[in-house]
Chain A
Amino acid sequence: MATPPARPGISLGRLTVHPQTAAGLLVLLAAAALIMASSRRDPEFGVFATVGLGFGIVLQRSRFCFNAAFRDLFQFRSGRTMKGVIVGMAVATPGFGLHMFNLLPNPSLGPVAPEAHATPISLALVLGGLLFGTGMVIAGGCVSGSIYRMGEGYLTSWVSFGGILGGLLVAARTWNWWWEHFIREAPVLWLPRSLGYGGAVTLTLAGLGAVYLLVLWIESRGGGGLQEAVSPDAAVAFAPKVRGLARAVFRQGWPAAAGGTAAGLLNLLSYEAHMPWRVVGELSRWSIGGATLVGLAPGPLRGTEDLAACTLRAGGGVLTHGLLLNAGLFLGSLLAALLAHEFKLRIPRKRVRYIQALGGGLLMGYGGGIALGCTVGAFFSAIPSLALNGWVFALALAAGAYIGLRVIERIP
């Protein structure tokens, strides 16, 4: 074996600190400042800053990438990430059910529980999912994935992010057409309305269990799944055990199921505090706000005030729940990547990668805009909301990911 490269470090007397660790500690201070400043404004904002940071740490540590979850099933017949995603939704589902019961004890009356991600099932949802799924594979990351990869130093993810904002603006400028032709009259199929909460939770968990079996079948056809490394804990003495634990948490990647469980619990905490985890609704506010400044405002968005989840939004104050979730996601990922010494400015040499990032981002922004959400709001938060639109969007995402894979197979 080659001699390992000399370890860089910043010397503080007898203690040598890795530069990424030192930078990570500075980001930790910034994260603490974000939580304190937002809490002073409103305690609920403090919760959302914390939850956002939590998502950033969890996604970075467990490589919890929704794009890989779908794409790897087709490309490598690997279900590693999808199994984690399913675990995350299964963990959130009973808690979402209980929380919605508290908000709306009788679900059969008509209205959907407040803030639940139940949205109309229309052609816009299906087409949006197809475009989104295709775009995320071409770009190499979905919206939450791009934000956490921005924190890890991937230059193309910043380009994707620009594409997403552009796509959301185009979606906003065509929104009224989609609303009038497809979304306005489309049904909202929220399972507790006909099955009650118990029935809807049971059916959702059974559906997730069936998909888990399907993923295992795909893996077995591909030659087996990934055996995820669990840190050996052979040490007996206390200090080495603590060092081993710190290494498992901060340096080694987490198993996908651990990341899924943590993401599911964070999503539940988010809903308990105010609303489930969302990403693109807030981004549309930034995109429309920016466009308004340069005279490209899309005008009034019909019907959006009555829609839940990640509906396109305009206006509102600077500090929102969504801003804190997204800022926390970025900052949490940056923090986790630095502490793991995994931060690096990654600059692709091939020019086509930047075109892929921009094009994929535009598709995701447009798709997420007309489908009322991304892999987070329209999928990861929608299925535990006991809403059928989450399942429809998932199927469209899978089909889109397959199309995206066919596209990137032609791009060397």
Chain B
Amino acid sequence: MFVDARGEPCPYPMKQVMEAMDRLPEGEELEVLVDHPPAVDMIRLLATRRGFLMETEPAGSAEWRIRLRRPEGREVKP
């Protein structure tokens, strides 16, 4: 799944990622593009709480690419 939340004001980037996490099919990766700096930390919090693994990398000027996936073989609390 892919969420492009660039340009969106607060709190839409976090809201869209939270909803996508809930809908993400088993075994799939969620890729997110954001340009809202506070979203990176807040998505980290949401990922930690839901047991997702998260990788963040810069994706151009003031943009970040975030990859979220569930660890294999582990039950994830909704």
Partner-B contacts on A (CB < 8 A): 1-2, 4-5, 8, 20, 63, 65, 67-68, 71-72, 75-76, 78, 80, 140-141, 149, 152-154, 156-157, 222-228, 253, 340-344, 346-350, 353, 357, 408
Contact = CB atoms under 8 A, between A and B. Distances in A.
B42 A140 contact: no
B37 A63 contact: yes
Nearest to A223: B49
A223 B76 CA distance: 13
Contact of B61 (A71, A72, A341, A357): A341
Given A76-B42, A76-B45, A78-B42, A344 B61 contact: yes
A39 B41 CA distance: 39
A160 to B, nearest CB: 9
Nearest to A160: B9
B66 interface: no
Given A341-B61, A343-B62, A63 B9 contact: no
A342 B40 CA distance: 12
Contacts of B45: 76, 78, 80, 225-226
A342 B62 CA distance: 5
A63 B39 CA distance: 10
9 contacts: A5-B59, A76-B18, A152-B37, A224-B49, A226-B44, A228-B41, A342-B62, A348-B7, A353-B8
Interface residues of B, number: 30
Contacts of B42: 72, 76, 78, 80, 226
A349 B12 CA distance: 12
Nearest to B62: A344
A196 B51 CA distance: 51
A223 to B, nearest CB: 4
Given A71-B11, A346-B35, A76 B58 contact: no
Contacts of A78: 42, 45
B25 to A, nearest CB: 21
A5 B8 contact: no
A344 B42 CA distance: 20
Given A5-B59, A80-B41, A153-B62, 7 more contacts: A8-B61, A68-B38, A72-B42, A157-B9, A223-B49, A253-B38, A346-B35
Nearest to A222: B49
Interface string B37-72: 110011011101100000101111111010000000
